[in-house]
Amino acid sequence: MNSAVHPPVAEHNSNLLLAALPPQDMASILPLLEQVRVEVGQVLCEAGDPIEHIYFPHDCLVCLLGVAEGRMTLEVGQVGREGMLGVTAALGHDTTQVRAVVQRAGYASRMEGARFRAEVEQHPALQRVLYRYTDALLAQAIQIAVCSRFHVLEARLARSLLVTRDRLRSDRFHLTHEFLAHALGVRRVGVTKAASALQQQGLINYSRGNIEILDPAGLAAASCTCYQIVKEASSLTEFGSA
């Protein structure tokens, strides 16, 4: 369960999207934000749910999953401190389009969906930041879809691990076989084989969900070109002044 506190503005600013807002916009939004802790595996929303809350991650990481027939899933993006969960509310959507699952525990600033939509209408600078971020998310989703259709699992796993590394800014993190299977849209045995192949090449160390990237350059070489494309799309969310 989320535990909410109201931290000072400096803590909210650890989210890059919020930090990009002009001071007057941030002053308007700040009273509407609460900080919550989210835990690994927590489902923040299901596809088709009403958009009740908007999340701006600080140090947590959220995996966005497309869902087919209620059970089959495929990762279509990740949200970390560079962005937000629920950006489609700014485009007039009342329901979510993906399942959002916490990939790394941590903190996020949260706002009620209805209040967020009202703020977007009042602040052109916020609109510009959100449109840029939406464009970056779409570019990532398109490339991940292409990657999932045309590239082998080993390269896709390498791409996913590298993107996670970039988001967390760490060579060590925890991802279970089950989580990776849901993200990559394959069976767990497929993840096991792909991870073993990368480990045998000395690129990663993977034991009981604990991953250490030993050779980032080598892992990038083992990945498909989609990693670099997704990385460049992600750089669109490194906001400057709004």
CATH for 219: 1.10.10.10
Indicate whether 165 and 125 sit together in one domain.
Answer: no
Indicate whether 87 and 157 sit together in one domain.
Answer: no
What are 162-192's pLDDT values in tens digits?
A: 999 998 889 999 999 999 998 999 999 999 9
Tell which of 114, 142, 170 closes a domain.
Answer: 142
Tell which of 111, 142, 173 closes a domain.
Answer: 142
Give the residue, 4 or 58, on which the prediction is more confident.
58
Asked if 90 and 120 touch (Cβ cutoff 8 Å), the reply is: yes
Indicate whether 123 and 15 sit together in one domain.
Answer: yes
Q: For the residues 43-48, what does the mean pLDDT come to?
A: 94
Give the residue, 62 or 72, on which the prediction is more confident.
62
Indicate whether 95 and 181 sit together in one domain.
Answer: no
What are 205-226's pLDDT values in tens digits?
A: 999 899 999 999 999 999 998 8
Largest CA distance in the chain: 55
Which tokens sit at 125? 């600078």
pLDDT at position 239 is 52
Indicate whether 215 and 103 sit together in one domain.
Answer: no
Give the H or E element holding residue 65. Answer: strand 61-68
Indicate whether 94 and 48 sit together in one domain.
Answer: yes
pLDDT at position 8 is 46
Asked if 57 and 49 touch (Cβ cutoff 8 Å), the reply is: no
Asked if 111 and 2 touch (Cβ cutoff 8 Å), the reply is: no
pLDDT at position 58 is 94
Indicate whether 112 and 212 sit together in one domain.
Answer: no
User: How far are the Cα atoms of 108, 147, 200 from residue 229, in angstroms, in the given order?
Assistant: 27, 11, 26
Residue 242 reports pLDDT greater than 70:
no
Q: How would you list the strands of the sheet with 172-174, edge to edge?
A: 172-174, 210-213, 204-207
Indicate whether 10 and 122 sit together in one domain.
Answer: yes
Indicate whether 33 and 137 sit together in one domain.
Answer: yes
pLDDT band at 235 (very low <50, low <70, confident <90, very high): low
What are 85-112's pLDDT values in tens digits?
A: 999 888 888 999 999 999 999 999 999 9
The total number of structural domains in the chain stands at 2
Indicate whether 161 and 137 sit together in one domain.
Answer: no
Indicate whether 131 and 27 sit together in one domain.
Answer: yes
User: 85: which DSSP letter?
Assistant: B
**Structural domain range at position 204:** 152-223
pLDDT at position 238 is 55
72-79/106-112 β-pairing: unpaired
Q: For the residues 147-152, what does the mean pLDDT come to?
A: 92
Tell which of 79, 113, 142 closes a domain.
Answer: 142
Backbone angles phi, psi at 78, to 5 degrees: -135, 150
pLDDT band at 241 (very low <50, low <70, confident <90, very high): very low
Residue 229 belongs to some domain of the structure: no
pLDDT at position 91 is 83
Asked if 102 and 199 touch (Cβ cutoff 8 Å), the reply is: no
pLDDT at position 157 is 96
Asked if 30 and 115 touch (Cβ cutoff 8 Å), the reply is: no
Residue 98 belongs to some domain of the structure: yes
Q: What rounded mean pLDDT belongs to the chain?
A: 89
Q: How would you list the strands of the sheet with 99-104, edge to edge?
A: 43-45, 99-104, 61-68, 72-79
Indicate whether 178 and 135 sit together in one domain.
Answer: no
Residue 175 belongs to some domain of the structure: yes
Residue 7 reports pLDDT greater than 80:
no
Residue 237 belongs to some domain of the structure: no
